[in-house]
Structure 1
Amino acid sequence: MVTRANNIRETLEHEIISGERQPGDRLDEPQLTKRFDASRTPVREALVELATAGLVEMQPHRSAVVAEISVHQVIQMYEVLAELEGLCARLAARRMTGKERAEFEKLHREIGRLIEKGDRDAFPTLNKQFHDMIHRGAHNEILEDQIGGLNKRLAPYRRIFHDEPHDLSIPYAEHQNVVAAIQNRDENLADQIFKNHTALRADRITDFIAAFDRRFQKRSA
């Protein structure tokens, strides 16, 4: 049963993940109760759920805020995410159905066509679908939930990479390799390729930290 608190949580979660609410932004309870025409109880429940998911920080005697994550924490999250993504690819190579494999191949070709057209705006959405298809193909709900939770926490920061032009042929080539490994049911290769694809490369970490510090620097009290 969908409760009022669930509706409020889903709305705020979408605003945080989409970047409409930035890290450090206040979530004032009186304003939220007025906005959602709700009592304090469902608003508080929604904020507690978001805090449990790591998207919000609850502060005693102060308004809750959208969670801010240190550069070190972001790097650690990507290290964990890379391992989980690799495991997903391994299981997908073993467990994907014939129908799922056909849809996976079709999506990959569609991404290739949009890159040829120079359609950069559509890439983030289709790229997410590509990853989601591998996650579902692993047929492991617990693993999928863990990856989903990390991706939600990282979503506001991942936009740093999309703000600057970069060569989309590079991730597409990496996609091609993981598609081939999964289609060939090569579990070890799929694991290694997708793990490397997800992990932050050493030559990008410096740029990432610089951009992260510039846009999401901790706000002084």
Structure 2
Amino acid sequence: MNLIKDLPLSIQVSKKIEDDIIFGYFRPGTKLDEAELCERYGASRTPIREALKLLSAEGMVEIRPRRGAIVPEVNPMTLCEMFEVMAELEGMCGRLAARRIQEDEKKRLLELHKHCEEYLESNDSENYYEKNRQFHFQIYAASHNSFLIEQASSLHKRLHPYRRLQLRVNNRMNHSFSEHEAIVQAIIQGDEVQAEKLLRGHVVIQGQKFTDLMSTINLSSK
């Protein structure tokens, strides 16, 4: 099963636009013309508009009255700060999950971890990310703290384009899976301190790897 191809066309298109924004094809300040997007991605206006709405919710584009969708300026320092906060939120989710996770939630977490392994073995970073995303949301749910789940989920959605792309850094998928393995064991064994520590470190590394990726892109474009 190819999860990416099975996703709605609007989500597939949104991922392609994300890549083009992050890798500099669409520069900050660029107006995203719907007709041009339709031609570039081979899609009709409806999935293009839905994709732009999804990207607007994530902060990747701004939809302005009478101007349409614009690529906003992205402050690198703000991204670093967001990853710092995300690391603390995920650490807290891990600690509470280790204390409160139910048996059915343990089973689901292990299933998602197994799916990640399958996509790791096929070197499929896109589908690995989709299961990776579900893996993290399962940990949030296992914290059984509705306010924390809401805050962690919201920030995760804001950072998801950057978390997705950091998996393209050399050997990052392998390291990500190894980190997941330790996280799963800590949560299932009820080790609150270790679960918090591992999840915090996992997200900090994601931020660092994304920075590495962007540095490589910037150097290659000079």
Is TM more than 0.5 here?
yes
Q: Which amino acid aligns with 1:183?
A: I
1:82-134: CA deviation from partner (whole Å, max 9, x where unpaired): 0011111111111211111122123223333443x334243112211211111
CA gap of 1:63–1:184, structure 2 versus 1, over 3 A, is: same
- Partner letter of residue 20 of structure 1? I
Residue 18 of structure 1: aligned partner: 15
Contact 2:166 2:172 (8 Å CA) reproduced: no
C-alpha spacing 1:26/1:172, structure 2 compared with 1 (3 Å)? same
Corresponding residue of 1:196: 201
- Change in 2 beyond 3 A, CA 1:18/1:214: farther
RMSD: 3.8
SS at match of 1:67: coil
Change in 2 beyond 3 A, CA 1:178/1:159: closer
* Aligned-partner residue type, residue 162 of structure 2: Y
Higher helix share: 2
* Runs of at least 5 residues in structure 1 that lack an aligned partner in the other structure: 1-10, 37-42, 217-221
Instruction: Give unmatched runs, 5+ long, in structure 2.
Output: 1-7, 22-27, 37-44
What percentage of residue pairs aligned between the two structures are identical? 31
Distance 2:77 2:200 in 1: 19
Structure 1 residues 89-98 or 140-149, which shifts more? 140-149
Report the CA distance between 1:153 and its aligned residue.
2.4
Equivalent residue, structure 2, for 1:120: 124
1:91 aligns with 2:96: yes
TM-score (norm 1): 0.68
Specify the alignment match of 1:151 in structure 2: 156
Task: Note closer, same or farther for the CA distance 1:124–1:52 as it changes in structure 2 (3 Å cut).
Answer: closer
Matched to 1:149, the amino acid is S
How far apart in 2 are the matches of 1:58 and 1:68?
Answer: 13
Q: Call closer, same or farther: CA 1:153–1:69 in 2, change over 3 Å.
A: farther
- Aligned mate of 2:81, from 76, 88, 107: 76
Q: Distance in 2 between matches of 1:138 and 1:177?
A: 18
Match of 1:57 in 2: 62
- CA 1:201/1:57 → structure 2, altered by over 3 Å: closer, same or farther? closer
- Distance in 2 separating the partners of 1:204 and 1:167: 8
Quick one: higher RCO (CA 8 Å, sep 6+), 1 or 2? Answer: 1
1:141 lines up with 2:146 in the alignment: yes
Length, aligned pairs only: 196
Task: Specify the alignment match of 1:210 in structure 2.
Answer: 215
Contact kept, 8 Å, 1:16 with 1:156, in 2: the verdict is: no
| CA 59–214 in structure 1, closer or farther in 2 if over 3 Å, else same | farther
- Structure 1: distance between partners of 2:197 and 2:33: 44
